[in-house]
C-alpha cells in the first residue's frame, strides 16, 4: 500500500484518541484520591478539632485499602479481558468497560462510609482492568506497521493525561466542601467515553479476520487507510489467520476475498460466510502452564511486575502526602507539575522507542529511577525540600522514558499472535497484583520508615535492571513478522 493520505492519518488518530479515553479514565482513577485524600479521610482537620465537615474518618490501613482496592477489581477483569475481547471484539468490549467506570465513580462520590468507598473503588477497578488490556490490543491492530511504536505509546500518554486531569482538579476542589466533585467527574468521563465509542469507533480489521468476517475486514481497512488499494495489508492479515489454522477460508466467498487483487476489486464486495468460526487463540491456562511459552511468561510477568515494584505509584497514589511536610502549601501544585512533565516526556519518548529500542529505554529508565529514588529517600529523611522535589520529579520523568510505556508494548511483540490476548491478561494481572501491594502497604511503610521506604524501591530497581539485562531481548520482532506457535 502507498503512503497514507492526510485523511487516513486523521481517521486513525481519531480512533486512537477515542479508544484511549479508556486509558485516560484508568489514569484518572489511579490518581483521583491523591490530592483530596487528607480531606476525604479527615486528616486535614486541625488536631483536636471536630467541626461538622464532610469527610470520612480513616486510618492509614483504611486509606491503603480504599486506594488499592481498585487493583483487586482490575485483577479480576484482567484475567478475563483478553479472551473476552477476542470473543466479543475490541469495540464491543471497550463499550462494556464504560459501565463499571460510571457506577464506581457514582458510588465513591456519594460514599458516607469507608466500605462505600471500597466498593466504589473496586467497581471502578473492574473497568480499569478491562480497559488496560483491550486498549493496547486495539492500538496494535488499528494502525500500519510504521506507526505501531508511536501508537503504542499513546496508551501511556493517555494514562498520564488522566493523572494530570485528576491533579489539576485536585488544585481547585481539594476542600471539605468540594472533594466529591473530583470523584463524580469520573462518571462524566465514563459517559463521554461510552458515547464516543458507540457513535464513532470502528472494530479492528484484524479482529474481523480472526472471526472470518473478511468483507468487514476489507471494508474497515479501506475506510481506515482512505484507499481501495489495501490488498497487500489485507492479504497479510489473512495469511496470519491461515497460519493460526483458523478455518475461515472454507467457502467460495472467503476464497474469493483471500485472492482479491487490484485488478478484480469487485471480489472485495462478496460477503463473507456467516458460518461460526472457531478461534485457535491460546488460553490463559495454556500460556501459563505450557512449556512452549515459559520464557515469554517469565519476561511478561517480570517486566510488568517491575513497572510497579520500582515505586511509581507511591507518587501517583500518595505524592501529595509524601511531600506534604516539606511543602505544606505547594504540594498539590508540585504534583501537578510532575504530572505535566510525565505527560510531555512520555510523548517525546514515543519518538525514541523505534530508534533506540525497547530494552535500551527500559535500562536507561530504571537506572535513573534507582538513582533518584535513593536521593528522594535521603531528601525526605533529612528534610531537604529542594532535593526531595527535584528527585521526585526526575524519578517520574525517568519512569516516563521507558518503564511507563514500554512494558505493555513488549507483550504484543514478544509472544506469537495467537497468544497475545492471553499474555496481555496474565501480564496485566501481575501488574495489578503489584499495584495492590504498593497501594496498600506504602502508607503503612511510610508511617513507620518515612523516606527510607524509597530505599526499598531502589533495591527493586537494581533487581529489575539485572532481570531485564539477562532476559529481555535487545531487539523485538514486530507482531506482523512473528510466527505463531501451536498449543501442543
pLDDT, position 51? 64
Arithmetic mean of pLDDT, 5-30 = 95
pLDDT, position 476? 54
Asked whether the predicted pLDDT for residue 174 surpasses 70, the reply is yes
Between CA 78 and CA 99 the distance in angstroms is 16
Between these two residues, 254 and 386, which has the higher pLDDT value?
Answer: 386
Q: Give yes or no for a contact between 299 and 419, defined as CB atoms under 8 angstroms apart.
A: no
Using pLDDT thresholds of 50, 70 and 90, give the confidence band for residue 260.
Answer: very low
137 grid coordinates: 490490543
Q: Give yes or no for a contact between 79 and 127, defined as CB atoms under 8 angstroms apart.
A: no
Q: Give yes or no for a contact between 98 and 105, defined as CB atoms under 8 angstroms apart.
A: no
pLDDT, position 330? 85
Arithmetic mean of pLDDT, 333-353 = 86
pLDDT one-digit tens code per residue, 42-95: 989 887 666 688 999 999 899 999 999 999 999 999 888 888 998 999 999 999
Using pLDDT thresholds of 50, 70 and 90, give the confidence band for residue 115.
Answer: very high
pLDDT, position 244? 52
pLDDT one-digit tens code per residue, 178-221: 999 999 999 999 999 999 999 999 999 999 998 999 999 999 99
Using alpha carbons, select from 277, 301, 276 the residue that is nearest to residue 422. Answer: 301
Using alpha carbons, select from 292, 389, 398 the residue that is nearest to residue 342. Answer: 398
Asked whether the predicted pLDDT for residue 353 surpasses 80, the reply is no
User: How close are the terminal C-alpha atoms of the chain, in Å?
Assistant: 36
Q: How far is CA 439 from CA 112, 315, 467, in A?
A: 22, 10, 23
Between CA 430 and CA 276 the distance in angstroms is 33
pLDDT one-digit tens code per residue, 134-160: 998 899 899 887 787 778 778 888 999
Between CA 443 and CA 439 the distance in angstroms is 8
Q: What domains sit in the chain, N to C, each tagged with a CATH number?
A: 6-201+283-471 (1.20.1250.20), 205-243+246-269 (no CATH)
Give the sign of the dihedral formed by CA 274, CA 276, CA 280, CA 281.
positive
Q: Give yes or no for a contact between 225 and 1, defined as CB atoms under 8 angstroms apart.
A: yes
pLDDT, position 468? 95
Between CA 351 and CA 368 the distance in angstroms is 19
If you average pLDDT over every residue of the chain, what do you get? 86
Using alpha carbons, select from 18, 14, 22 the residue that is nearest to residue 190. Answer: 22
Using pLDDT thresholds of 50, 70 and 90, give the confidence band for residue 484.
Answer: low
Q: Where are the alpha helices (H) located in 244-330, listed in sequence order? A: 252-258, 284-289, 294-309, 312-323
Q: What percent of the chain has pLDDT over 70?
A: 87
Helix (H) / strand (E) element for 410: namely: helix 406-414
Q: Which of 214-228, 235-249, 340-354, 451-465 has the lowest mean pLDDT?
A: 235-249
Between CA 413 and CA 410 the distance in angstroms is 5
Q: Give yes or no for a contact between 193 and 90, defined as CB atoms under 8 angstroms apart.
A: no
Asked whether the predicted pLDDT for residue 10 surpasses 70, the reply is yes
Using alpha carbons, select from 208, 242, 137, 244 the residue that is nearest to residue 484. Answer: 244
How wide is the angle at C-alpha 457 spanned by C-alphas 451 and 461, nearest 5°? 145
Using alpha carbons, select from 307, 476, 319, 323 the residue that is nearest to residue 401. Answer: 307
Using pLDDT thresholds of 50, 70 and 90, give the confidence band for residue 165.
Answer: very high
Using alpha carbons, select from 308, 333, 43 the residue that is nearest to residue 167. Answer: 333
131 grid coordinates: 480497559
Q: 327: left (phi > 0), else alpha (psi -120 to 50), else beta?
A: beta
Q: Which residues contact 481 (CB under 8 A, 6 or more apart)?
A: none
pLDDT one-digit tens code per residue, 116-126: 999 999 999 99
pLDDT, position 91? 96
Q: How far is CA 453 from CA 378, 409, 483, in A?
A: 10, 29, 44
User: Cα 439 to the chain's mean position, in Å?
Assistant: 17
Between CA 195 and CA 180 the distance in angstroms is 24
Q: Which of 119-128, 230-239, 254-263, 305-314 has the lowest mean pLDDT?
A: 254-263
Asked whether the predicted pLDDT for residue 110 surpasses 90, the reply is yes
Between these two residues, 292 and 418, which has the higher pLDDT value?
Answer: 292
User: Cα 22 to the chain's mean position, in Å?
Assistant: 9
Amino acid at each position: 500500500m502507498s503512503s497514507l493520505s492526510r485523511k487516513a492519518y486523521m481517521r486513525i488518530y481519531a480512533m486512537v484518541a477515542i479508544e484511549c479515553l479508556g486509558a485516560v479514565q484508568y489514569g484518572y482513577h489511579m490518581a483521583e484520591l491523591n490530592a483530596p485524600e487528607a480531606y476525604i479521610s479527615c486528616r486535614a482537620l486541625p488536631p483536636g478539632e471536630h467541626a461538622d465537615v464532610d469527610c470520612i474518618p480513616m486510618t492509614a490501613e483504611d486509606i491503603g485499602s480504599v486506594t488499592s482496592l481498585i487493583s483487586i477489581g482490575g485483577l479480576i477483569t484482567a484475567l478475563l479481558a483478553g479472551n473476552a475481547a477476542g470473543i466479543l471484539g475490541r469495540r464491543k468490549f471497550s463499550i462494556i468497560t464504560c459501565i463499571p467506570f460510571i457506577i464506581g465513580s457514582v458510588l465513591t462520590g456519594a460514599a458516607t462510609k469507608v466500605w462505600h468507598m471500597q466498593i466504589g473503588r473496586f467497581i471502578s477497578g473492574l473497568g480499569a482492568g478491562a480497559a488496560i488490556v483491550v486498549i493496547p490490543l486495539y492500538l496494535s491492530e488499528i494502525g500500519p506497521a510504521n506507526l505501531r511504536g508511536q501508537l503504542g505509546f499513546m496508551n501511556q500518554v493517555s494514562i498520564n493525561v488522566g493523572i494530570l486531569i485528576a491533579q489539576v482538579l485536585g488544585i481547585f476542589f481539594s476542600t471539605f466542601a468540594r472533594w466529591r466533585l473530583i470523584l463524580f467527574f469520573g462518571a462524566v468521563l465514563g459517559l463521554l467515553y461510552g458515547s464516543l465509542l458507540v457513535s464513532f469507533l470502528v472494530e479492528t480489521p484484524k479482529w474481523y479476520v480472526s472471526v472470518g468476517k473478511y468483507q468487514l475486514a476489507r471494508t474497515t481497512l479501506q475506510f481506515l487507510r482512505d484507499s481501495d488499494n489495501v490488498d497487500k495489508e489485507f492479504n497479510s492479515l489473512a495469511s496470519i489467520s491461515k497460519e493460526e489454522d483458523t478455518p475461515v477460508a472454507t467457502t467460495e466467498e472467503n476464497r474469493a476475498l483471500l485472492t482479491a487483487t487490484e485488478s478484480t476489486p469487485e471480489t472485495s464486495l462478496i460477503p463473507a460466510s456467516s458460518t461460526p468460526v472457531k478461534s485457535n487463540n491460546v488460553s490463559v491456562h495454556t500460556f501459563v502452564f505450557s512449556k512452549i511459552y515459559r520464557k515469554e511468561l517469565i519476561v511478561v510477568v517480570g517486566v510488568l511486575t517491575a513497572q510497579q515494584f520500582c515505586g511509581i505509584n507511591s507518587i501517583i497514589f500518595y505524592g501529595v502526602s509524601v511531600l506534604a511536610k516539606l511543602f505544606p502549601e505547594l504540594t498539590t501544585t508540585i504534583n501537578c507539575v510532575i504530572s505535566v512533565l510525565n505527560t510531555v516526556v512520555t510523548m517525546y519518548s514515543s519518538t525514541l522507542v523505534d530508534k533506540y529500542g525497547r530494552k535500551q529505554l527500559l535500562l536507561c529508565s530504571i537506572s535513573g529511577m534507582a538513582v533518584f529514588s535513593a536521593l528522594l529517600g535521603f531528601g525526605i529523611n533529612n528534610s531537604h525540600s529542594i532535593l526531595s522535589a527535584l528527585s521526585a520529579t526526575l524519578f517520574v520523568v525517568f519512569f516516563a522514558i521507558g518503564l511507563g510505556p514500554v512494558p505493555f508494548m513488549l507483550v504484543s511483540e514478544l509472544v506469537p499472535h495467537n497468544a497475545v490476548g492471553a499474555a496481555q491478561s496474565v501480564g496485566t494481572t501481575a501488574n495489578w497484583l503489584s499495584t495492590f501491594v504498593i497501594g496498600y502497604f506504602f502508607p503503612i511503610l511510610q508511617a513507620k520508615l518515612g523516606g527510607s521506604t524509597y530505599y526499598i524501591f531502589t533495591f527493586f530497581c537494581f533487581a529489575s535492571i539485572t532481570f531485564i539485562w539477562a532476559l529481555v531481548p535487545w531487539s523485538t520482532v514486530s507482531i506482523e513478522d512473528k510466527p505463531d506457535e501451536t498449543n501442543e
